Structure 1
Amino acid sequence: MVLRAADVVGELKILRKGRGIFTTPLGDRVGPALRAICGILEDDDQAEMQRKLSGRLRPLVEALPEDLKVVLLAAFALHEMARKPFYQERVRWAAITLQRDDRTVRRRIDEGIEQIAAMAVKVVEPDPGPRYPSRSWHTEELRVALTLGQPAAEAFEFRRVVADADEITELDLALTLSAAAQSGESVHESDLQVDVFHGGVLTSRAMESSDRIGLALRLPEPLRRGEQHEIALRFRASIREPHYVCVPRHPCDLFDLHVKFGDRVPEHIVLLEKAFQDDARDTSARGTALTADDSGEVHVRFRNLAPGFAYGIRWRPADVN
């Protein structure tokens, strides 16, 4: 992502609410800019996020003049004496400590946030960008929730894209509905239902091959190089082959997949990572074995996906020996 001081300021103003860094759950308050600055990973728990936030913010705050230091330590509940449940209570504590009124303290908190945000952006190493270069756009984050416990499989897709060129007006997407070779079935464009929840308008859909359906999504306004945009889609279709994979056309930095199998949980589930697309259908192709949790769910995550390769899972249906 492109790190901007304004993004850091916005996220710090969200973080200072409630209990500050002691808010539960903390992950809902920590946005992508703060995660990048503090080195917070997707798998970090509450305690680890608190440690990283405190370890990164405290040195920045300590570098400020004394009055700004006091108000910011209070704002984020970094000061032991100011670990109060409400932001207003911490503002009051700082006001009493500095012998100033609440309005003055609020102004100084905003001033201090602007300063530490600028410092944080300067010291963070430049983002290397996606591993695989792109001349149009790439996916910074793709999150999919797939449920299989109903007649038609349903997938919710949340995608954040970044423009790698100017005047990006449309996203070219596609979804493959593989039909078993021995079934003799054909895939039709009408087999796939698509709903756009936000982020654009579906302008066309057409068969690109015997089983791949191409989708064109027109964006609300053209993207300039470096700009981000988020979309949310819902797909519904019958799963004809027991696998679900992402085969990106454009580079993808992160693919996060949740699959809920419902009542019929497969005994054999295999991870597919940078596999050839045909291997997703091949039951003899090897992969790391996975186990569903007590809710009948599997969660996998992939980073730096190579365009043209498959990432996801394959399973053996519960009624197949």
Structure 2
Amino acid sequence: MKTEHVNQIAAAINAVKATEVKNVYFVACGGSMASLATGDYFLNREIEIPSRVYTSNEFVHVNPPGLGEGSVVILRSHSGTTPETVAAAKFAREKGAVTIAISMEVDSPLCQEAEFTVHYNYKDGSDAIDGETGVYYSLIFGILNAVSPNEKYERVLNQLNNLETLFESNRKLTYDRAFQFGSEYKRDKLIYTMGSGAYYHQAYSFTSCLLMEMLWIHSNAIHSGEYFHGPFEATDFDVPFLIIKGEGATRPLDERAINFAQKFSKKVEVVDVAELDYTGIDEDLKEYFGPALAGVVLRQYADGLAEHTGHPLSVRRYMWKMEY
């Protein structure tokens, strides 16, 4: 990892170490919120300090009563210009919280408002360890190790060096199926997505940012555990589902949902995270690396749909084109 990133992450972690942490808030919008939510899942699995994910505008308007000194607020915006997230950083810092901004643009308004900045490379062809996943995982597991030292977290940090190789190998592993999926589902105007645990956030990101925002395909992200509490009534032979079969504690929830969906729908696509390549990753760490690998694979599924629908992922109707 580049020295600048190491130093930025170390400064943020040291600030957390110096704080008697009473709570952690993850604050962002859209895909950035979904990526931060993975960290929230890890914290909830590993330590007793309460944490919560907020969409940025709600965070400011709700004004959580626990927010203040002893709070750690982690914010993210890819461009660093999302107005709601910039406002949330300013709001949290004024409340006395430790604020950590994650962005591609180090000189962005978000990074100017936050006390600490963690920058990731995006445009210069840097490998994954200096990209958004490597930098964010380094921050989250560094914080975990600072708050509750564990050799497991140190192993995660060491094995992050395998990310670039794993991203590439899993793209190759799933390329044919992802583009075949694009061919098979190119005429579908609605595709439901499903997942659980950390993978629910991947389903949400795929739904909101890739299917709805970028491809204009109607969708809804369904938690596998909630499927049987209403949504399964929409299941029929021609209703498409993309279901993430996760690696970790909630996998049985996904298996139950898959078994039911496949009985009544002829259009169920399963992305089994356990079948991905984990070379260089310890068995007990797969649950942590799985969401990152799933994100790369799902992006390829979106590329397959874009290719076969003739709808580029860069096309927008409203976003960045008008006031809203």
- The interval holding the TM-score normalised by the smaller chain is under 0.3
TM-score of the aligned structures, taking structure 2 as reference length: 0.24
Higher helix share: 2
TM-score normalised over the length of structure 1 = 0.24
Structure having the higher Rg:
1
- Structure (1/2) with the larger strand percentage: 1
